[in-house]
């Protein structure tokens, strides 16, 4: 249990620092690379929580596909590669206040609600269990999501093509 907590601590620290990097860096490409650290850290946390299938889906879809999409977006909007001023608007101070208020409220609420509930894990979740759930209980949402993905694909092509 101690090893898991140490691993959690290191990963959590890396994720928070990288997340701050995403929202604070002056270089758009660096923001995408910091995002990779956060996403990989999240995948590692899923493995700590014995959800290995979701962890690999996270690696494949987020790190493999979504970050590449972001890099294409950066390329196509011709963001300059070097350090850049003017990436932030002038709402910095109110945004910090709102963020700290949100984190403080949520933390107080969570400490109050789930004071010392333990997560006890025995074995990793078998992927077969997730498959059974997807194709039995959640088959209608699953099909709806497929239609949504198709619609999003067609929509993206219609929006982005030049004519």
Partner 1 sequence: MLLNQFLILAAILFGIGMYGVLVRRNGVLVLMSVELMLNAVNLNLIAFSARLQETSGQVFSLFVITIAAAEVGVGLAIILLLFRNFRSPDLDEVHQMKG
Buried b (16+ CB within 10 A) or exposed e, 13-45: eebeebeebbeebebbbebbebbbbbbbbbbbb
| Shortest distance, position 76 Cβ to partner 1, whole Å | 6
Rounded to 10 deg, the angle between the 28-48 and 2-24 helix axes is 160
| Shortest distance, position 25 Cβ to partner 1, whole Å | 9
Largest CA distance in the chain: 60
Tokens linked to 127: 């992927």
CA distances from 30 to 23, 88, 106 (A): 10, 15, 29
Q: With beta carbons less than 8 A apart as the criterion, state whether 23 and 92 touch.
A: no
Tokens linked to 162: 């030049």
| Shortest distance, position 81 Cβ to partner 1, whole Å | 14
| Shortest distance, position 68 Cβ to partner 1, whole Å | 10
Task: Output the CA angle 23-28-29, nearest 5 degrees.
Answer: 115
| Shortest distance, position 86 Cβ to partner 1, whole Å | 7
């Amino acid at each position: 249990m101690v090893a898991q907590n140490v691993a959690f601590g290191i990963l959590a620290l890396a994720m928070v620092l990288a997340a701050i990097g995403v929202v604070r860096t002056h270089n758009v490409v660096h923001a995408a690379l910091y995002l990779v650290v956060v996403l990989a850290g999240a995948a590692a946390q899923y493995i700590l929580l014995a959800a290995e299938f979701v962890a690999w889906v996270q690696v494949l879809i987020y790190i493999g596909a979504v970050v590449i999409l972001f890099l294409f977006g950066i390329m196509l909007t011709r963001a300059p590669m070097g350090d850049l001023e003017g990436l932030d608007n002038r709402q910095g101070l109110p945004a910090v206040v709102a963020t700290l208020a949100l984190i403080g409220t949520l933390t107080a609420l969570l400490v109050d609600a789930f004071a010392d509930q333990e997560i006890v894990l025995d074995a990793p979740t078998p992927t077969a269990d997730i498959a059974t759930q997807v194709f039995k209980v959640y088959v209608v949402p699953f099909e709806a999501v497929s239609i949504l993905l198709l619609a999003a694909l067609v929509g993206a092509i219609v929006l982005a093509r030049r004519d």
